[in-house]
Structure formats: C-alpha cells, structure tokens
A and B are shown apart, each in its own frame.
Chain A
Amino acid sequence: MKFDDKVPIYYQIKNHLYHEMMTGQLAPGEKLPAVRQLAVDLTVNVNTVQRALGEMITEGIITSQRGKGNFVTTETPRITQLKEHLIMDQLERAYEQLHALNLSDEEIIASLKQYIAQRGQQDD
C-alpha cells in the first residue's frame, strides 16, 4: 500500500480498512488478519496497526475477542452509519472548497450535474 507521508499513518490504515469494509472485501463478522501480518502486508509498523485497530475497536467497527483476534462488527447498521459518515466527510470537504470559490448552492448543484454528465461521456 502506498502512503501519503504527510498524513498520520494510523489514520491511513483506518481509512484503508474502512474502504475494505464498505466495498465488502472485509465482510461483517469476518476475522481480520493478525496484527503482525497486517503490518507486513501494508509495510507499516506493528504499533501503528495496533493504534489504528484500537481506535476502530473504540468506534465499535471492530470487536476484539480475547485469544481469537479482531473481527469486523456484525452490526450492519454500524457499517451503514460509517459509510454515511465517510460520504458526508467527502461531501463536506468538496462543498467547502466550492463554496470558497464563491459558488452559490444552485451553482454547485449545477456544476456537479454537469461534471457527472461529462464524465459519463468520457467513460463511453
């Protein structure tokens, strides 16, 4: 995995795992690889993986079972909630940047529609 060295690594590990959960590569209830294995796979420090998983356990996205390892939560509403949260996060960033360019809400919606339409053409 390629990291942005300006952003805390534990944060990027969390995002990587969130992404895998939302795209179904990590299913609800699935066991995560062992901490050291994750560290080797991602080429990061074991302690950094530990920190990322620790925060995700606090968030309730991962459950830790003593002696068995870490598992993706089986509470699907929690994953749906996470997905909504990440979408809002991305939208907020994009909205703020467009707003800073003095675009009104109507103009933002219009340019987004236009962008999607143009993108669709490019994809063909």
Chain B
Amino acid sequence: MTNVLAINQVGYKHNFKTILHDVDLTLETGKIIGLLGENGAGKTTLMRLITGSAKGSGTIAVCGDTSTAHHKSHVSFTEQLRGFAASTRVDRVADFYRTVYPDFDGARFEELVTFLQIDTSLKLAALSKGMKEKVIIALTLARQVNLYLLDEPFSGIDSMSRKRIISSILKWKPADATMVISDHYVSEIAPILDEVVIVKDQTVYAHKESDAIREEFGLSIEDYYESLYAEGGADRD
C-alpha cells in the first residue's frame, strides 16, 4: 500500500500561540478519512499546511514530494471560495479553475453540476449555504488529483443536500485517490469513513480504522470520539 500523505513532526504557531505541534500522520491511497476535532482544534490549519498555503515546521510529503510548492498540483482544496468577488458567477469561477488547474476536467464538472443541481449562472452572493457547499464540492472533485480535502462540507446544511453531497463523493472520488473530510459532528458521515483522525490538544491525538473502533470497542465513531474528548488533555501528560 502506498502513501499519499506523510506528515512528520509538523508544528505551527500563530502570534506565538501554538496551534499544532508534533503532528505525525500517514495516509494511504484510496481512502476516505474523517478529520475530527472541536471548532478551533486546528483542522483547517492542518489542511492549509498540507496544501502549502500555510508554512510551519517539520516536513509534509504529498505523493513522496516534500516541496510544498508542488503540493497544489497533487491536492484539491477549495477554501471557502475566498478570493472571488461576491458578484462573480459560478460559471466564471469554473472558468478560472479551468485556466489555473490543468487537471480540471470540464466534463466531470458538468456531471457534478447536473447531479448536485447547481445553477451556474448564479452569483456567489446569491448562493444559499447548502448551494455554496455544493459548488465547492463540484469544483474540488472536478480536479483529477491524488488528495482531496473538504473542510466541514456539512456544517449548517439541510439533510437532502447532505445526502446528495455524500453520494457525489462516493460516485466521483477516483478509486486510488484519498479524501479527507473534516467535521466536528461525525454521525452523519460515519458509514462512509475508512479511518478517523482525531485532532485534540494541538496535535493528532488518535488515528484508527472505523470498523476497528466498532469491532474492538463496540462503540460508534461518535461515542469513541466523545470518549477521547471526555478523557481530558491532562491525563496524557
């Protein structure tokens, strides 16, 4: 089994405050990984470190390449559509993606747009929360890369949109690509996760196979996650 991601002793500080420290994490190809942690635990920071848009200490190898400048060509991550004016139409954003990313597959994007029922003539400012997440998913999955990062795609959206998004992930994630989905509420995506990575105490606190959690502890992923948070950070010192 080959690794798509190898994080070695990574740390990140912001204004002298430690956000993440001593992060070690290896992910294999072809998996769906749940990145779980409370709000502010450092999940988004970890994603930004992986893409190279944030710089920290330690090394991060994507497909064996430790040069963060090369990571953007292996990783698809759409961070909240930041950088686009509110008056930009969805199809203009897609045009931008097509220009910037050689791996952006227009036909795949059209399929996703149809499946997710997106009106691409809408301006970003006119998108509901759920529709905005669908646009992000379509843009992210239309690229053909080794690693997909989705940052809390289900927060604050209705259950029908959630089901569509989950189906689109199962349909369009390439078999040998790995996808990391962050969330602070796990029960809705638990059945589709191969593994869970739990961020706590500014580091990767646990990394386990989902079915191993159920098999070994007889616990749901949610109960396991909550039990780790109930342990409290002081116990490990």
Q: Which A positions have Cβ atoms within 8 angstroms of B?
A: 3, 5-11, 36, 39-40, 43-48, 51
Q: Is B24 an interface residue (CB 8 A)?
A: no
Known: A43-B192, A45-B192, A48-B194. A6 touches B171 (CB 8 A): no
Q: Check B220 against A8 for contact (C-beta < 8 Å).
A: no
Q: Check B211 against A9 for contact (C-beta < 8 Å).
A: yes
Q: Check A7 against B214 for contact (C-beta < 8 Å).
A: yes
Closest approach, in angstroms, between the C-beta of A4 and any C-beta of chain B? 8
Cα A7 to Cα B190 in complex, Å, equals 12
Cα A3 to Cα B189 in complex, Å, equals 11
Q: How large is the interface on B (under 10, 10 to 19, 20 to 34, 35 or more residues)?
A: 20 to 34
Task: Give the 5 A-B residue pairs with the shortest CB-CB distance, closest first.
Answer: A5-B220, A8-B211, A8-B214, A40-B170, A6-B220
Q: Helix, strand, loop or mixed for chain A's interface?
A: helix
Q: Check B170 against A5 for contact (C-beta < 8 Å).
A: no
**Chain B contacts of A5 at CB under 8 A?**
187, 190-191, 214, 220-222
Cα A5 to Cα B163 in complex, Å, equals 17
Q: Check B191 against A44 for contact (C-beta < 8 Å).
A: yes
Q: Check B191 against A40 for contact (C-beta < 8 Å).
A: no
Question: Chain B, 137-168, contact with A by CB distance < 8 Å: what is the 0/1 string?
Answer: 00000000000000000000000000100110
Q: Check A39 against B170 for contact (C-beta < 8 Å).
A: yes
Other-chain residue from B166, B170, B221 in contact with A46 (beta carbon distance below 8 A): B170
Extra 11 A-B pairs, beta carbons < 8 Å, given A5-B222, A10-B211, A43-B166: A3-B191, A5-B221, A6-B219, A36-B170, A43-B170, A43-B191, A44-B192, A45-B192, A45-B194, A48-B194, A48-B211
